[in-house]
């Protein structure tokens, strides 16, 4: 009897996993999440690159050090 109950639990777990995996859009959502993570990593890289520049280099680009977070955030939220 215990083996039968354990087998039913296993089958139920498999059915639940299949139900979640087969939901429409799951793979698309995962792709969107990965894309967002990539954009965030790119923005962090851009910020570090700008942050390492001298004030004169930033001024040549029309930027001040205090604007860096806003500039990178704007780029992130407006897309690439």
Model pLDDT for residues 16-67, shown as the tens digit of each residue:
665 655 566 888 899 999 999 999 999 999 999 999 999 999 999 999 999 9
- Where are the chain's structural domains? 2-78
Q: What is the pTM of this model?
A: 0.61
Structure tokens at 5: 């109950």
State which H helix or E strand residue 5 sits in: helix 2-21
Query: Cα(21)–Cα(38) distance, rounded to whole angstroms?
Result: 24
10: three-class secondary structure by DSSP: helix
């Amino acid at each position: 009897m215990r083996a039968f109950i354990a087998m039913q639990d296993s089958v139920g777990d498999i059915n639940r996993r299949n139900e979640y995996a087969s939901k429409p859009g799951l793979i698309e959502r995962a792709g969107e999440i990965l894309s967002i993570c990539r954009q965030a990593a790119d923005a962090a890289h851009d910020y570090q690159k700008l942050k390492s520049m001298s004030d004169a280099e930033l001024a040549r680009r029309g930027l001040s050090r205090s604007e860096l977070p806003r500039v990178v955030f704007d780029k992130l939220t407006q897309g690439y």
